[in-house]
Every structure is written in structure tokens, then in C-alpha cells.
DNA sequence: AAGACAAGCAACCGCAGCGGA
DNA sequence: CTCCGCTGCGGTTGCTTGTCT
């Protein structure tokens, strides 16, 4: 298995950096077999040299079968704006209310599209709409 | 064609909360 | 009650890709 890890490095016995298709496969099979959770056991059970933290992140943000992937549509953007008006920076809560998208994805989208003063009017409008519905 | 810069995104880090021993 | 390990969350970093000059 040596030599196929790209630039990933080892630290304290754990591998870090980008995931390989082999690692993805191992993790996917593990979740299929044992379900989500018990992330700290994944390395022991599968032989993956990844921390539980890293495994959970990879699964939640990339491997989950119900993920939509692809670009965020204007409709989804509106939903995100409204949810943000409601929950502010509770990304995980927003993600749960918006199936198919991850908190990391929403957070990244927000930071690149809205944060730097861009589309402030839209954000305000969404917040006003939300408050009106209260 | 090539270098500089910006945007997008995957992944890591530190911390807090929770539950079991 | 306290300690410790595990999980989840929000913030941040840095690599990759696209665009501009």
C-alpha cells in the first residue's frame, strides 16, 4: 500500500491530507456494515490509518449517499438565506434542515458568496421575510 | 504563453458538550 | 462527583482550478 498516498503525511501514526479512492472505499464499506458513529473504531476495524475525526468528516462531507453534490441552485440559495436568517451561523442546524447539503458546503458557500459584503441586500431581505413570518 | 491573482473547496484544528466508568 | 474518551461543531488553512493581464 506504500507509495499511493499522494502528498499525505503521517503524524503520530495517523495519515493526514487528501483521501485516496481506496480509503474512501474502506470507509464506505465500514459504514455500510456498522452504520455511522463509533468513528474511533474505524481505524482498528478497517486498518485505515485515519483518526476518527477525519473519518467522520470525510463521510459527512463527501461519502454520504444522500448528498446532492454539484452547484447550489438559486432556489437552494434562497433556502440557505432564510435558514441563515433563522439560525445565523448554526451551520449544522442549517444543514440538517436542508437535506443533501453538508454544513461544510453551506459554510463554504456562505463565506465565498455572501460574507465579503456581497449580496448584503439579499441577506437583509431574507431576514426581513423570516421576521415577517414570525 | 506565462505569471499573478482570486475563488472554490476539501480537510484540519481547537474547543465544548455529553455520557460512561 | 470527577475524570476521560468520543463526537460534533464552527473557524481556519492551504491546495487546486479558473480568470485576468
Could you tell me the pTM of the whole model?
Answer: 0.84
Footprint of strand B on the protein (CB under 7 A): A 11, 15-19, 53-54, 57-58, 61-62, 71, 104-105, 108-109, 111-113
> CA–C1' distance A90–B16 (Å)?
15
Per CATH, domain A9-63 is 1.10.10.60: yes
In degrees rounded to 5, what are phi and psi of residue A59?
A: -65, -50
At residue A5, does pLDDT exceed 80?
no
The CA–C1' separation of A129 and B12, in angstroms, is 36
Name the nucleotide nearest A111; use CA and C1'.
Answer: B8
A49, A37 Cβ separation under 8 angstroms: no
**Is residue A64 within 8 Å of A89, Cβ to Cβ?**
no
Q: Phi-psi bin for A91: left (phi > 0), alpha (psi -120 to 50), beta?
A: alpha
A7 φ/ψ angles, rounded to the nearest 5 degrees: -90, 5
Q: What is the pLDDT of residues A42-83, one digit of tens each?
A: 988 998 999 999 999 999 999 998 888 778 888 888 888 899
Residue A4 has pLDDT above 50, yes or no: no
Amino acid at each position: 500500500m506504500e507509495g499511493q498516498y499522494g502528498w499525505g503525511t503521517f503524524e503520530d501514526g495517523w495519515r493526514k491530507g487528501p483521501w485516496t479512492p481506496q480509503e474512501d472505499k474502506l470507509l464506505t464499506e465500514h459504514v455500510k456494515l456498522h452504520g455511522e458513529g463509533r468513528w474511533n473504531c474505524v481505524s482498528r476495524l478497517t486498518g485505515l490509518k485515519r483518526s476518527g475525526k477525519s473519518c467522520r468528516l470525510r463521510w459527512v462531507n463527501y461519502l454520504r449517499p444522500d448528498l446532492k453534490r454539484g452547484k447550489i441552485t438559486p432556489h437552494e440559495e434562497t433556502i440557505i438565506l432564510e435558514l441563515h436568517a433563522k439560525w445565523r451561523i448554526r451551520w449544522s442546524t442549517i444543514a440538517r434542515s436542508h437535506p443533501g447539503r453538508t454544513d461544510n458546503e453551506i459554510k463554504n458557500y456562505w463565506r465565498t458568496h455572501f460574507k465579503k459584503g456581497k449580496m448584503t441586500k439579499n441577506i437583509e431581505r431574507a431576514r426581513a421575510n423570516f421576521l415577517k413570518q414570525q
